[in-house]
Amino acid sequence: MKILVIGSGGREHALAWRLVQSKKVSRVYVAPGNAGTKREEGLYNVDLNSVDEWVRFAKEEPIDLTVVGPEAPLSQGVVDAFRNAGLAIFGPTQLASQLEASKDFAKAFMMRHSIPTAAYATFEEAALAHQYIDQQGAPIVIKADGLAAGKGVVVAMSLDEAHQAIDHMFSGALGGAGHRVVIEEFLEGEEASFIVLSDGENVCPLATSQDHKRLLDGDLGPNTGGMGAYSPAPVVTPMLHAKIMREVIMPTIRGMKAEGNTYTGFLYAGLMISPNGDIKTLEFNCRMGDPETQPIMMRLKSDLVEVLDLAVKGRLDQVHLEWDRRSAVGVVMAAYNYPNTPRTGDVIVDQGVSDLDSHVFHAGTAIDDKGQLVTRGGRVLCVTALGDTLRVAANKAYQRLADIQFDGQQYRRDIGWRALKN
């Protein structure tokens, strides 16, 4: 089979790397990909960047199965366009991807289906939003309704901060994403990423994972797209796993179907788990997580092409995923000044090599005119390793990371700390 992966991040590198190991694969293309997918054996970058270009390429090639990495093409309707052209693609339709593309849609949906989530209110006028937070007090959470590439959520610890966040969002700084704002009750606890595959009817959970959203050690500093992740996340006990499936995942898949908005694709529930084991849904993403995908793909033993092929055929009930029993840890190396405008063009030097139990997944990387590997985005690399325990996996990832250098590099030294502390 010929496979097309859409996207250019670390998530797409990890997906493509796993897909190309399938016995069923003849070729894996990545559109547009990055320097890592360009150099990876068996992967081919194609410089295509729009829905029309992807459809045309998939028809001409022809591509047997397309997998979408990021949310933007989903909310642009890439799945609808492929299906209309008779092409197989794994992902949600434009309408279904509103679960991620509109926080207000997701919150209202959760209310209709009694899916546990934080109390909230939605505003289209700044004055009313200001009034509401004065009533509610701080801490409080302000979210732009639309897609904002990880910049749309402010966890305000003071009323000042909350008022500023509202002004910022309504000022148009986030474009259309901030025309509507969701204000949400502040929740405390431990977060987990719970990702499943759905064919619209059947659901197949992936291994659990935990992301590290803040830039600095100890979960300090600004929010980012994610500075590292590990799998499995021990906070999700077998009992909690069953509860999440029962209270969050199944009601979502069934509810979407019942509303005539059948959900197919990866579904990512970002969860807050309180100390007494209550779960609340913080957000839905219509895709895999980045960097959660990197450790999850290191652990996946099943043939991913076979699995996704069954998924697009509505036969996920026949799938039982097999996982490496070991833990995986991925540490993100970010560019200078990330998460603000990152500097690009810094030369990346890697003096080591990966083995079977480690892999360096690329995200914001490129090859410059001189043939050098350089930074080209905020999150640059995700150094990922497997180990018998989380500690061993983390040590191995950090050892591999020590081989790699670029000016201005930033990374957290404590990926996995919550689980390691226990």
Binding interface with ligand AMP (CB under 6 A): 118, 141, 143, 153, 155, 184-187, 191, 213, 223, 270, 282-283
163 binds, among ligand GLY, ligand AMP, none (CB under 5 to 8 A by kind): none
Between 51 and 108, name the residue whose CB sits nearer to ligand AMP.
108
Q: Does 342 bind ligand GLY (CB under 6 A)?
A: no
Grouping H, G, I as helix, E, B as strand and the rest as coil, residue 379 is strand
The single residue among 211, 309, 346, 357 that binds ligand GLY, judged by CB under 6 A, is 211
Report the first-to-last Cα separation within the chain, whole angstroms.
Answer: 44
CB closer to ligand AMP, 87 vs 177: 177
Alpha-carbon distance of 99 to 136, in angstroms, equals 26
> Least distance in Å: CB of 11 to ligand AMP?
16
- The item of ligand GLY, ligand AMP, none sharing an interface with residue 362, based on CB under 5 to 8 Å by kind, is none
Region near ligand GLY per CB under 6 A, out of 157-165, 283-291, 375-383, 387-395: 283-291
Tokens of 123: 């505003």
| Token couple for 309 | 């092929």
Residue 91: which of ligand AMP, ligand GLY, none does it interact with, CB under 5 to 8 A by kind?
Answer: none
The site partner of 184 among ligand GLY, ligand AMP, none (C-beta below 5 to 8 Å per kind) is ligand AMP
Q: What is the dihedral of CA 47, 70, 361, 331, to 10 degrees?
A: 150
Task: Report how far residue 173's alpha carbon sits from residue 186's, in angstroms, rounded to the nearest whole number.
Answer: 24
Note whether 290 binds ligand GLY by CB under 6 A: yes
Joined tokens for residue 209: 């994972």
| Residues in 292-321 at the binding interface with ligand GLY, rule: CB under 6 A | 292
Whether the CB-CB separation of 83 and 76 falls below 8 Å is answered with no
Nearer to ligand GLY, 147 or 390 (CB): 147
Q: DSSP string covering 199-249, please?
A: SSS-EEEPPPBEE--EEETTTEEEE-S-SEEEES-TTS-HHHHHHHIIIII
Question: Shortest distance, CB of residue 169 to ligand GLY, whole angstroms?
Answer: 19
Q: Smallest distance, Å, CB 156 to ligand AMP?
A: 10
For the CB of residue 268, give the shortest distance to ligand GLY in the complex, in Å: 7
Which range touches ligand GLY (CB under 6 A), out of 27-35, 140-148, 284-292, 329-337? 284-292
Burial of 327 (0-12, 13-18, 19+ CB in 10 A): buried
> Which DSSP string corresponds to 36-68?
HHHHSTTEEE----SHHHHHHHHHHTT-SEEEE
DSSP 208: P
What is the Rg, in whole angstroms, of the alpha carbon atoms belonging to the chain?
21
In the list ligand AMP, ligand GLY, none, the entry touching 36 (Cβ below 5 to 8 angstroms by class) is none
Rounded to the nearest whole angstrom, what is the least distance from the CB of residue 257 to ligand GLY in the complex?
Answer: 24
Binding status of residue 285 toward ligand GLY by CB under 6 A:
yes
CA distance 292 to 244: 18
Distances 198 to 84, 189, 249, 268, 421 between C-alpha atoms, Å = 20, 27, 10, 11, 34
Site stretch for ligand GLY (CB under 6 A), options 24-32, 252-260, 288-296, 344-352: 288-296
Of 181 and 373, the one with the shorter C-beta distance to ligand AMP is 181
Work out whether 191 is an interface residue with ligand GLY (CB under 6 A).
no
Report how far residue 32's alpha carbon sits from residue 45's, in angstroms, rounded to the nearest whole number: 6
What span, in angstroms and rounded, lies between the C-alpha atoms of 339 and 163? 22
Angle (CA) 70 73 78, round 5°: 130
For residue 80, state whether it binds ligand GLY (rule: CB under 6 A): no
- Residue 12, interface with ligand GLY (CB under 6 A)? no
Query: Which tokens go with 252?
Result: 């979502």
Beta carbons of 193 and 206 less than 8 angstroms apart: no
Q: Choose one: 17-25, 127-135, 287-295, 414-422; the region binding ligand GLY (CB under 6 A).
A: 287-295
Rounded distance between C-alpha atoms, residue 380 and residue 64, angstroms: 30
User: Least Å distance between CB 283 and ligand AMP?
Assistant: 4
Judged by beta carbon, residue 60 or residue 188, the one nearer ligand AMP is 188
Q: Is 289 in the site for ligand GLY (CB under 6 A)?
A: yes
Structural contact between residues 178 and 170, judged by C-beta atoms closer than 8 angstroms:
yes
Q: Which lies closer to ligand AMP via its Cβ, residue 44 or residue 186? A: 186
Contacts of 260 (CB under 8 A, 6+ apart): none
Choose the one of ligand GLY, ligand AMP, none that binds residue 191, judging by a C-beta under 5 to 8 angstroms depending on kind: ligand AMP
Residues that bind ligand GLY (CB under 6 A): 211, 225-226, 285, 289-290, 292
